[in-house]
Amino acid sequence: MNIQEKYEKVLKLFKELSKVPRNSTREEKIADYICEFAKIRGLEYKKDKLYNVIVKKGATTGYENKKTILFQAHIDMVCEKTAQSTHDFENDPIEIIETEDTYTAKDTTLGADDGIGVAFLLLLLDDEDIPHPAIECLFTTQEEIGMDGARNFNYSNLDAKYLINLDGEEENTAIVGCAGGIRMRYTKSMRLEEVGDNTSLYTLKVSGLFGGHSGVDIDKGRINSNLLAAKYLNSLDNIQIVSFVGGNKDNAIANATEVLFATQDKEANEKMQNFFNNLEVTDADKNLKMELEIGTTNKDVKVMSKDDSNSLIRLLIDLKQNVIAMSKDVHGLVETSGNVGIVKVENGEALICEALRSSIDEDKVKVMNYNNEIAQKLGFEIQGEGDYPGWKYNPNSKLEKIYVNSYKKSHNGEEPIVCAIHAGVECGMIYEKMPHLEMISLGPDVVDVHTVNEKLYIKSCKTLLETLMYVIEELD
């Protein structure tokens, strides 16, 4: 079995996938690509109304009596770009920048989350030299906005005993459990009024923050630009907000926010400098900028009432956010967290989106109820959506044991890390539908996902592939 040849094919498939648009809810093109891929190879496939695709491939000779393996990856990606980028995610291919060791993208997210996982599945469907039992490859949609593809897929025609998810981000780590979560939306129609006398208009711009994944990066101390802006505004007197816009995804730590507001506080700039100078900033956020621009009073501008402006600021500050609780059972594991990833307040209409996560469903509900009580007192309407379950660790998993032995074979006896994580993975959703499955989540080394700094360490794909080949061979 030529691992080098198959490794190169995985990278080639990833590059081909990067030419196909695959924003969440707009996966039709990538779904059609996969269907055509299967059709050309004479494989059984089916696409549903959410553009989930299932492709089945029969066992090779001698493996007919082994249990079916389900491989799974999601086909959508987080579409972020730099402020200067003109990239059109609906039509333009991702422009990959390649070095000897890495792939990154020019001014956009790379989409290795989870394009590289999809490439691994396509390799298994394409390759005729890998001996294997019957395999089922499930390509799911809308993972990045709530896992709706996995949530609504019909699993009744699947035969697998084992599931291998290819959405991991560390090649030396196997995920065997995850947090559940829910997206909360807080909305309110604000009362608008004229700008008062002796009032100045200001534009606050927060930029240069690193951002990151609201699950796996939430304990790294990275600053959320929405919360930062709210805390500064809270230091001023007589604030009236015109607009407040920050963040793009509820599952990404907001890295840029812009607020247009009016105030009679003549010390606004001095207070901002003092506020900025007293911030504790990690190395990741060392490029943080806070800029305050003063403009002329414009009588045509409508401002939110002081009460409504204060209610917005109080909501952003008082919602439970960042790390709320650490696990008492698993050292270093975040148990419960919150992230206000989107604030959009324009023309008097306010929308705030928060992602809540917890590995304990009861604690998730407690935080949700606490936040809801705050929001209700401040006059906000509340809606929860995209509730997804956690994935409970199975200490008796044969798949886990075989994976550990396979990893040691491909890494000269080195032990892998086996852990649960504080991020939602589709295994939780699939486990709810197919609780008999033994599951594991794997992936190559990918860093800074959901940001324009996303990077794939390509050589880790080779060792992951070798480990996978051993796992497939050893499963009964």
User: 340-373: per-residue pLDDT in tens?
Assistant: 999 999 999 999 999 999 988 889 999 999 999 9
Q: What is the pLDDT of residues 266-306, one digit of tens each?
A: 999 999 999 999 999 999 999 999 999 998 766 678 999 99
3 state DSSP class of 97: strand
Report CA-CA distances (Å) from 340 to 78, 224, 313.
Answer: 17, 8, 13
Same domain, 321 and 250: yes
Query: Average of pLDDT values for 163-183?
Result: 94
Instruction: Compute, in degrees rounded to 10, the torsion defined by CA atoms 222, 226, 227, 230.
Output: 150
Same domain, 171 and 195: no
- Residue 90 has a pLDDT of 94
Torsion over CA: 298, 300, 304, 306 (sign): positive
Name the domain count of the chain: 2
Same domain, 332 and 241: yes
Nearest Cα residue to 227 out of 123, 328, 321: 321
Beta bridge partners of 292: 204
Same domain, 63 and 136: yes
Report the CATH number that the domain containing residue 148 is assigned in CATH.
3.40.630.10
Same domain, 376 and 430: no
Nearest Cα residue to 71 out of 464, 334, 377: 464
Rounded CA separation 474/403 (Å): 9
Same domain, 50 and 199: no
Could you list the residue range(s) of the whole structural domain that residue 39 is in?
Answer: 3-179+390-474
Same domain, 221 and 205: yes
Query: Average of pLDDT values for 408-436?
Result: 91
Q: Which of 350, 368, 388 is the last residue of a domain?
A: 388
Q: What is the pLDDT of residues 207-261, one digit of tens each?
A: 999 999 898 899 999 999 999 999 999 999 989 999 999 998 888 999 999 999 9
Same domain, 99 and 226: no
Same domain, 262 and 299: yes
Q: Which of 388, 407, 426 is the last residue of a domain?
A: 388
Q: Which of 388, 414, 444 is the last residue of a domain?
A: 388
Report CA-CA distances (Å) from 363 to 180, 317, 338, 359.
Answer: 11, 20, 12, 8
Same domain, 140 and 289: no
Same domain, 366 and 407: no
Same domain, 320 and 198: yes
Rounded CA separation 142/49 (Å): 12
**Ordered alpha helix ranges (H), 281-397:** 306-318, 361-377
